[in-house]
């Protein structure tokens, strides 16, 4: 915890974030490119779904980051509520659009995958519906956060909403276990993917995650810079 609190100092945060951003970003891009190439060329097709199963190398990391993004956002909101540190709300603001993008990518790749395998673009089953809801909740959080900032609120309302929204995470995750759904059950954590098809997924999972972290750091730096500009303009106007 003391280490985290030390990082909460914006100047110290920027000193670390500045060199870290391109490292995370480019290693992430490289891993994703290699993982996708390997998933398209080095692995055998799935016995049942044939070539269409290869989309899992994008679909699974998107789902992971769509949900992981909200976990990060909720943790940032929670620490903002507890310690009132402005950097926590900057982090939440930086994560939201990135998480929403991956949630959308998850829905999109899932839809493209569902057409040839299930025979439908979309069905209102528990997993698909709860994931769509998570995407809408991201959009709602972004709208609420902007409205709060515009009315110069203290950020407590979006922070509360960010914590409350985590109610969706167990629903998305357990929907395929506790409910009967069209979507199949857990594959990755239960080890149901043969290693010869599985290994490129580790590259795309790690790659997209680093890429995500890089984008979030980039956005946090941009938000901090724009806050600085605003403060300077205000001082100049006052002088």
Partner 1 sequence: MKAKHQRLVLALLALGAILGASALAMSALKDQAAFFYAPADVKGKPLPLDRHVRLGGMVERGSIRRADDGVSIRFVVTDGQATVPVAFKGVTPDLFKEGSGVVAEGKFQPDGSFVADNILAKHDERYMPPQAAGNMHETKTLAK
Residues found near partner 1 in the complex (CB under 8 A):
40-51, 53-54, 56, 74, 78, 81-83, 116-120, 123-126, 163-164, 166-171, 174-175, 178-182, 184-187, 190, 192-194, 196-198
Minimum distance, C-beta of residue 89 to partner 1, in the bound complex (Å): 14
Closest CA to 218 of 30, 86, 26: 26
Give the integer Cα–Cα distance in Å for 177 and 167: 17
Cα torsion 13, 19, 22, 27 to 10°: value is -100
Q: Which residues of 137-148 are buried (b: 16+ CB within 10 A; e: fewer)?
A: bbeebbebbeeb
Considering beta carbons, is residue 168 or 216 the nearer one to partner 1? 168
Taking the complex as a whole, the smallest distance from the CB of residue 185 to partner 1 amounts, in Å, to 4
State in angstroms the smallest separation of the CB of 68 from partner 1: 16
Q: 28 or 200: whose CB is closer to partner 1? A: 200
Least Å distance, CB 102 to partner 1, is 21
Tokens 């985590």, residue located: 166
Of 20, 103, 22, 28, residue with least CA distance to 69: 103
Question: By C-beta, is 125 or 144 nearer to partner 1?
Answer: 125
Comparison of 144 and 223: residue with beta carbon closer to partner 1: 144
To partner 1, the closest distance from the beta carbon of 226 in angstroms equals 28
Question: Rounded to an integer, what is the distance from CA 21 to the centroid of its chain?
Answer: 17
Nearer to partner 1, 152 or 180 (CB): 180
């Amino acid at each position: 915890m003391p280490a985290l609190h030390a990082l909460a100092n914006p100047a110290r945060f920027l000193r670390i974030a500045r060199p870290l951003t391109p490292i995370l970003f480019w290693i992430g891009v490289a891993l994703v490119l290699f993982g996708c190439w390997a998933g398209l060329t080095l692995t055998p097709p799935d016995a049942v779904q044939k070539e269409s199963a290869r989309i899992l190398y994008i679909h699974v990391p998107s789902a992971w980051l769509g949900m992981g993004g909200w976990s990060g956002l909720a943790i940032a909101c929670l620490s903002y509520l507890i310690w009132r540190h402005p950097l926590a709300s900057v982090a939440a603001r930086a994560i939201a659009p990135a998480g929403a993008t991956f949630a959308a990518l998850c829905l999109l790749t899932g839809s493209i995958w569902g057409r040839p395998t299930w025979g439908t673009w979309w069905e209102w089953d528990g997993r698909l519906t709860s994931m769509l809801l998570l995407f809408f909740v991201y959009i709602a959080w972004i709208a609420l956060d902007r409205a709060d900032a515009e009315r110069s609120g203290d950020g407590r309302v979006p922070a509360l909403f960010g914590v409350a929204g985590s109610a969706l995470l167990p629903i998305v995750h357990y929907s395929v276990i506790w409910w009967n759904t069209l979507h199949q059950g857990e594959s990755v954590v239960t080890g149901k993917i043969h290693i010869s098809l599985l290994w490129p997924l580790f590259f795309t999972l790690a790659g997209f995650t680093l890429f995500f972290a890089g984008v979030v750091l980039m956005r946090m730096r941009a938000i901090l810079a724009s806050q600085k500009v605003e403060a300077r303009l205000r001082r100049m106007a006052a002088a």
